[in-house]
Amino acid sequence: MRRFSAVVLVAATMGAVLAGVPAHAAHADCTTTACHFDVPPGTYDVKVLLGGEAASSTSITGETRRSLLPETAAEAGERVARSFTVHVRTPEGEPTGPGGTPGLDLQLGGSAPALADIKVTPARHARQIFLVGDSTVCDQPGAPYSGWGQQLPQYLRKGLSVANYADSGESTVSYLTDPRLWATVRPQIRRGDLVLIQLAHNDKTTDEATYRANLETLVAGVREKGGEPVLVTPVVRRWFNSDGTLDNGTALLVNGLGVDHPAVIRSVAAAHDVPLIDLTARTKALVESLGVEASKALYLYNEKRDNTHTSVHGATTYAGLVRDELVARHLVPERLMRVG
């Protein structure tokens, strides 16, 4: 990448593309398809001006394949302003994964990308949505995999960001014991932050009493820091019965000990007055409505014969369900969410 000095606007070659380098950054590197901002870990507001001489359609991803801005169209000669807030950290993806690239990395996508201007500044009053989860939620490092938490940021407006600390292979047991996970997340929680907790897929040998106690520990830990816990039942596995339903233990996350994970989550939510997003019920209804063939596109069945992990399409769809629940339950003001 080419290096530009701070506080300089630089013309690039993608139509009329300008890289607006913020004064606080040591430097910014931009090409026609990406920008790197040399900033320390933290939360940043990003303001972009999209469009060029020709009609354009631009999306933005960042860090480890996070969808930050959905594809946005601009007519020829039109300029469209959009803003979002992004969480920058190390490791930039899964907490137990590689460190990634220091600073903030943004990539341009879409059918005809055009970026006229970009500005990155520290977020002064951002609210965080922390995600505690497993591989169905995390920032997956490589295609075709994607977690729903990886797609959630595109539904948020400036002032609200996702801090995705979901990690592949984690159970409630391992999440609480690994110092890179809960012990790292909990100190960062501030008053007013949301913490969405979806752990079940890997609690295959966790007994009910332990599973319940672990969920209660997570809930209490969030509240002690002034945050608001939200319990999320797990996304279903695409495992159909012969009659076209998902009414079986594999699909609905009943483990080998007979522990009905969604039922326990619902029980803990009711007992401790915790907001509940019943993603099991929502994804079950959606998958059954699509049927055996159409539902394959939500998962990685076609690519990997995988009926647990989601495709980008599936993760985006499921993130939309979470977005809808956050708004419907008044956990996030509608003005901070992209509803279209």
The pLDDT value given to residue 32: 85
Token reading at 145: 């995999």
State residue 241's pLDDT score: 97
Helix, strand, coil content of the chain in percent (nearest 5): 25, 30, 45
11 — pLDDT class (breaks 50, 70, 90): very low
Amino acid 318: pLDDT: 98
DSSP letter, residue 188: G
Provide mean pLDDT across the span 102-123: 96
DSSP labels for 268-307?
A: HHHHTT--EE-HHHHHHHHHHHHHHHHGGGGEEHHHH-EE
Instruction: Please say whether the beta carbons of 3 and 17 come within 8 A.
Output: no
Give the β-pairing of 127-133 and 56-62. unpaired
For the cut 50, the answer to whether the pLDDT of residue 2 exceeds it is no
Residues 160-206 pLDDT 10s? 999 999 999 999 999 999 999 999 999 999 999 999 999 999 999 99
Q: Among residues 156, 169, 174, 7, which one has the least CA distance to residue 87? A: 156
Asked if residues 139 and 94 have their Cβ atoms less than 8 Å apart, the reply is yes
Q: Hey, what are 178's tokens?
A: 């690994």
What integer best gives the mean pLDDT of the chain?
A: 92
Q: What is the rounded distance in angstroms from the CA atom of residue 137 to the CA atom of residue 151?
A: 9
* pLDDT for res 340: 55
pLDDT at 28: 73
What stretches of 144-297 adopt beta strand conformation (E)? 160-164, 194-198, 228-232, 276-277
With CA atoms as reference, report the closest residue to 133 among 322, 284, 282.
Answer: 322
Answer positive or negative: Cα dihedral of 215, 220, 223, 225: negative
Burial class (CB in 10 A: 0-12, 13-18, 19+), 241: exposed
Contacts of 194 by beta carbon, 8 Å cutoff, 6+ apart = 127, 128, 129, 130, 227, 228, 230, 326, 331, 332
Q: Which residue has the higher pLDDT, 256 or 340?
A: 256
> E-strand spans in the chain?
2-4, 9-11, 18-20, 28-30, 34-37, 42-50, 56-62, 66-74, 80-88, 104-112, 115-122, 127-133, 160-164, 194-198, 228-232, 276-277, 299-300, 306-310
pTM above the 0.85 mark? Answer: yes
pLDDT grade for 237, boundaries at 50, 70 and 90 = very high
pLDDT score recorded for residue 5: 25
pLDDT digits (tens, 9 = 90+) for 35-48: 999 999 999 999 99
Question: Measuring CA to CA, which residue among 202, 228, 226 is closest to residue 331?
Answer: 228
Q: What are phi and psi of 300, to 5 degrees?
A: -105, 30
| pLDDT at res. 333 | 92
Among the listed residues 127, 153, 173, the one whose alpha carbon sits nearest the alpha carbon of residue 63: 153
